[in-house]
Amino acid sequence: MGLALEVAMAIVLAYALYICGVGLFGIISPARERMIAPRNRFCIIIPAHNEEMVIGNLLESIEGLEYPRHLYDVVVVADNCSDRTAEIARKRGAEVLERYDQNNKGKGYALEYAFSELGFTRERANPESFYDAAVVFDADNLVQPNFLTVMNSRLLSGEHLIQCFLDSKNPDDTWISGAYSILFWVNNRFVMLSRYRLGLSAAFMGTGMCISSQVLREVGWKTRTLTEDLEYSIQALLYGYRTTYAHHTRVYDEKPLTFMASCRQRLRWARGQLGVFYTYLGSLLRGAARRRDPVRLEAALRLCQIMYVLTAPLVMWAYGAADIEQVTFEFVASIPILPFLLAYFPYAFMGILFLVDDHPISVIKYAPFYPAFTFSWVGILAAGLFTAHRKEWMPTRHTRALSLSRVLSSNKQESILHELSHPEAHREHRHPETSPETSRAAANYGMSTYQLTGL
């Protein structure tokens, strides 16, 4: 029994050090984006189920994209809608695909339908595809103006699957939306960015995703878990396509307002993540061994995190309570929760976020609630483990109908948005020697200084 506990604690400690070590690579901010002239043609796809309250604001923000209008189309998939979602989308100039299928509900099925209808997937794909890439937004989102410009540059640089920075449009609503937002901000920098910097594979986060037509033709789109985003990243990785991360362009997402709403959403994610773990762990490990591929190996290790969160507390409790004659990890025995603290060490860097990523300072008041919110994942994952067989889709109701200008104004970023959107209005008033403040603003938005100055 003592030897088994020693081995178990060694595994727990090693995994904690792995999470901590990878996360540390997210501390340093990435270099500014190298912008390339617009060339790629995009299809923006928006799966929507009864989103009449918010979809108009998303389409308005898309109209403000700083990208040639003839190089992108907007398609709304009205999925089993019973409200005015399709009507509002058409009035805004979007193409609408209406889908009614009560047996196959959910975003994954809606995207499968859209990719097939639009000729992306291999069953109907034309080698001379009309689009170079597909972009997916959720209906409650707001989009930063430089989004397609960044994606165009990344695609022309050889990337195929790109996830953007996932921000929050309502971080100051309640303590739940505040803690939720901090969790996503930490994830952007210490999970996504850190893996991108290390040459590992990031993962899709459900929205703000760009997928090249080449990948969709080769991999197709057949997701069946409740986390179609993570599942597709793993599927593509098994084909050799790494998911990259664009830190300098953002999508603003609505976060739940109540604890119960957040639990329902996270329970769906937990069930989906467990489904991905059971389905793809073996394939990733076999692929890593066969190809000696550290990227697939790391992706397999990351899938194990859900099991780590569930089992580590039990191992640490047993190790601390056991009467072992010669303790190998004496320092752990004196602080049994140490491996858990190490695993969550990157999440302790939330204070840095407000210095380097331009988040609203007002959200700091929710920081005391953040640890409790984070550790509530343990109970949610446990519930997901015992209900993993339940695959029914649970839609999230969105009600925060905010415009992009209002969100940026509340985040004290409206002046930067105006400068990015109308550089010619500032050109004659700015000396060619750009100030450090303006250069930093450009870096935060993925723009080079010469683009801001118009030189």
Three-state SS for the chain is CHHHHHHHHHHHHHHHHHHHHHHHHHCCCCCCCCCCCCCCCEEEEEEECCCCCCHHHHHHHHHCCCCCHHHEEEEEEEECCCCCHHHHHHHCCCEEEEECCCCCCCHHHHHHHHHHHCCCCCCCCCCCCCCCEEEECCCCCEECCCHHHHHHHHHHCCCCEEEEEEEECCCCCCHHHHHHHHHHHHHHHHHHHHHHHCCCCCCCCCCCEEEEHHHHHHHCCCCCCCCHHHHHHHHHHHCCCCEEEEEEEEEEECCCCCHHHHHHHHHHHHHHHHHHHHHHHHHHHHHHHHHCCHHHHHHHHHHCHHHHHHHHHHHHHHHHHCCCCCCCCHHHHHCCCHHHHHHCHHHHHHHHHHHHCCCCHHHHHHHHHHHHHHHHHHHHHHHHHHCCCCCCCCCCCCCCCCCHHHHHHHCCCHHHHHHHHCHHHHHCCCCCCCCHHHHHHHHHCCCCHHHHHCC
Identify the pLDDT of residue 246. 97
Identify the pLDDT of residue 205. 97
357 CB neighbour count, 10 Å cutoff? 17
Identify the pLDDT of residue 356. 83
Q: Which residues pair with 79 in a beta bridge?
A: 99
Identify the pLDDT of residue 347. 64
Identify the pLDDT of residue 338. 66
Low-confidence ranges of the chain (pLDDT < 50): 414-455
Identify the pLDDT of residue 330. 63
Identify the pLDDT of residue 414. 38
Whole-model pTM?
0.85
* Domain 38-285 belongs in CATH node 3.30.479.30: no
For the stretch 202-245, pLDDT in tens is 999 999 999 999 999 999 999 999 999 999 999 999 999 999 99
Would you list the domain boundaries of the chain? 38-285, 413-453
Instruction: State the Cα–Cα distance between residues 280 and 228, nearest whole angstrom.
Output: 13
Identify the pLDDT of residue 353. 82
Place of tokens 């550089």: 423
